[in-house]
A and B are shown apart, each in its own frame.
Chain A
């Protein structure tokens, strides 16, 4: 058997989930290393929540293996759950209870003693900027506040792994920003984070590694640079000039052998090459021609470009889902 340090704190092997004839998760495998933020990206219905539910023990796999810190989730579910903090895609605390009592109750479910859970609840309310709302019933909270309290509730027992299912969907911009900061802060404290989202920008900003899931299968995984590298066909730089230099396209192409030059009507020029392109000769060329260059930057594919290319799912579809989900940007 492989050691925990090699297989990761969460290890999923050949996981499958079917509901009748429908296959929600189709033979997926991945490892999450301790202390990393692992993003699980895909459109609605891709199998993200089905996967998370199997890992946290809320759903039984049809086939495959899941271990959390070396513990088999299928046979020792409760032991594994003690290590986890779980934030479902819906804020599901108790409406009648106030914020403080909700947090204390969640701490009690993990066997925390009264003084310990009350001290931690006060600390979390402060950390999540909910101190003033601590005595208000959960039903009176705004969407963003509900989301933050639900995350705080998952952290009350200081879990080693935090599962976040769509944490920023449908909430206000400020709350979404605070949640992203909080996730980054958790990483600094050594907490492992498993994040499912269909907000590609969120994943790009905060995740160490990302797996793309579509139609129940993982289509690619790796760090953001690795994923970008996998679809990149070379390097590209874009220059913004003070005049339209369309007539110079052929001359530029001849001057920079092995490159392709695109002169665009918006006064910009894109030079594409398999090798990295040094900027100075290009700048000198324009200088000699008496054309001012206002801006020069390297063009990289965005993670959304990578996602679209690898999954074949149009970004417009993701955008529609975002709009349905609400603000959160």
Chain B
């Protein structure tokens, strides 16, 4: 019960202090909208449904990684993060509470292009039972990647720079712009090492029925990535922040 009280209040504090601030709400709406408009302008008359998996993935990836890396680095530099390290709650509870806000923010980001698309196309054929868990798993893995970066960064600008080092290559390798079978053979192993590859494939399958991997494999891989990243983040926090 005590851990739950701490977990809930850390989450509530993050949502109130960071994610519900007007600049972040507007960023969470404007950023996915801009991506959507950019794609529409680039391919006039293009099928919005085909763009949707990519737009959802990008929105989640950028929303989660940016926010978490910045908020944690910010709290670390002001030393308020020490309060969480000194609280009598397990490191796992603390990590879960910190990432939960970013995950929710990522899920919120994901549905901005969906709502936008709903005005232009019929989304009746979309398999929401796959989209929803897929979005959630993309948000979880991306948030944990953001946390992994935050652990290594000392300043906010460092966190942003490190984020871009993996975010942009990831976009080109995960099958968003170039379908997986068309990715050069020597780069393909790298694609399969990225959680976003499996998330995007799930979304492709659920929205446009063009997946190249089995949904079971994709969910299993996303779960495995989430567990591995969680353990790695926990280990790194323990090693780097408790000197």
Q: Answer yes or no: do A and B interact.
A: yes
Q: With A57-B242, A94-B17, A95-B78 known to touch, is A105 a contact of B88 (CB < 8 Å)? A: no
Task: Check B80–A93 contact: CB distance below 8 A.
Answer: yes
Task: Check B87–A110 contact: CB distance below 8 A.
Answer: yes
> In the complex, which range does the number of interface residues on chain A fall in?
20 to 34
Task: Check A109–B87 contact: CB distance below 8 A.
Answer: yes
> Which residues of A have CB within 8 Å of B83?
92-93, 106, 109
> Which residues of A have CB within 8 Å of B89?
78, 109, 111
Spell out B's residues near A (CB within 8 Å).
Answer: 1-3, 5-6, 8-10, 13, 17, 78-80, 82-90, 242-243
Task: Check A108–B86 contact: CB distance below 8 A.
Answer: no
Task: Check B88–A88 contact: CB distance below 8 A.
Answer: no
Q: With A97-B13, A97-B17, A109-B6 known to touch, is A92 a contact of B80 (CB < 8 Å)? A: yes
Besides A88-B79, A94-B17, A109-B89, 17 new A-B residue pairs in contact (Cβ under 8 A), listed by A number = A57-B242, A58-B82, A58-B243, A78-B90, A81-B87, A90-B79, A92-B80, A95-B78, A97-B13, A105-B13, A109-B9, A109-B83, A109-B87, A111-B2, A111-B5, A112-B5, A113-B5
> Which residues of A have CB within 8 Å of B2?
110-111
Give residues 82-124 of A contacting B (CB, 8 Å): 82, 84, 86, 88, 90, 92-97, 105-106, 108-113
Name 17 A/B residue pairs within 8 A (Cβ), A-sorted.
Answer: A58-B86, A59-B242, A78-B88, A79-B88, A92-B82, A92-B83, A95-B78, A105-B13, A108-B6, A108-B9, A109-B10, A109-B83, A110-B2, A110-B87, A111-B1, A112-B5, A113-B5
A-B residue pairs, 3 tightest by C-beta: A111-B2, A108-B9, A109-B87
> Which residues of A have CB within 8 Å of B86?
56-58, 81, 84, 86
A60 interface residue per 8 A CB criterion:
yes
Q: B interface, by DSSP: helix, strand, loop or mixed?
A: helix
In the complex, the chain A residue whose C-beta lies closest to that of B87 is A109
State in angstroms the CA–CA spacing of A92 and B83 once bound together: 8
> Which residues of A have CB within 8 Å of B80?
92-94
Task: Check A105–B242 contact: CB distance below 8 A.
Answer: no
State in angstroms the CA–CA spacing of A96 and B78 once bound together: 12
> Which residues of B have CB within 8 Å of A58?
82, 85-86, 242-243
Spell out A's residues near B (CB within 8 Å).
Answer: 53, 56-60, 78-79, 81-82, 84, 86, 88, 90, 92-97, 105-106, 108-113
Q: How far is the CB of B203 from chain A (nearest CB, A)?
A: 35
State in angstroms the CA–CA spacing of A82 and B6 once bound together: 13
> Which residues of A have CB within 8 Å of B87?
81, 109-110
Task: Check A82–B88 contact: CB distance below 8 A.
Answer: yes
In the complex, the chain B residue whose C-beta lies closest to that of A150 is B83
Task: Check B78–A105 contact: CB distance below 8 A.
Answer: no
State in angstroms the CA–CA spacing of A78 and B2 once bound together: 13
Most buried by B among A82, A88, A108: A108
Contacting B242 at CB < 8 Å: which of A60, A93, A108, A110?
A60
> Which residues of B have CB within 8 Å of A59?
242-243
Q: How far is the CB of A111 from chain B (nearest CB, A)?
A: 3
